[in-house]
């Protein structure tokens, strides 16, 4: 994701979130990822997901990883 922020599906983000203990819920056309210490990040579930949302999601996951250390 970090090297190629194109052509990702919302399901790919959900799998990564589960791996790192990030909760998620989908309300209509958006998915909100939540972590108790880091906060939340919302991604539109449109396909394809725009690269800017993927980059920000990667930063969100990086924050979760840093918080857990």
Give the separation between CA 69 and CA 20, rounded to whole angstroms. 12
Please tell me the pTM assigned to this model: 0.92
Query: Helix, strand, or coil here: 44?
Result: strand
pLDDT at 58 over 90: yes
Report pLDDT for 40: 96
Question: Could you read off the pLDDT of 6-49 as tens digits, one per residue?
Answer: 989 999 999 999 999 999 999 889 999 999 999 999 999 888 89
Residue 24: the pLDDT is 97
Q: Angle at Cα 59 formed by Cα 22 and Cα 56, nearest 5°?
A: 95
Selected from 3.40.140.10, 3.30.160.90, 3.40.640.10, 3.30.70.270, the CATH number assigned to the domain covering 10-68 reads: 3.30.160.90
pLDDT of residue 51: 95
């Amino acid at each position: 994701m970090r090297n190629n922020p194109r052509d990702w599906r919302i399901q790919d983000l959900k799998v990564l979130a589960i791996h790192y203990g990030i909760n998620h819920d989908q309300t209509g056309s958006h998915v909100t990822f939540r972590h108790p210490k880091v906060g939340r990040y919302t991604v539109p579930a449109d396909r394809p997901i725009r690269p800017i949302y993927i980059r920000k999601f990667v930063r969100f996951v990086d924050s979760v990883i840093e918080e857990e250390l």
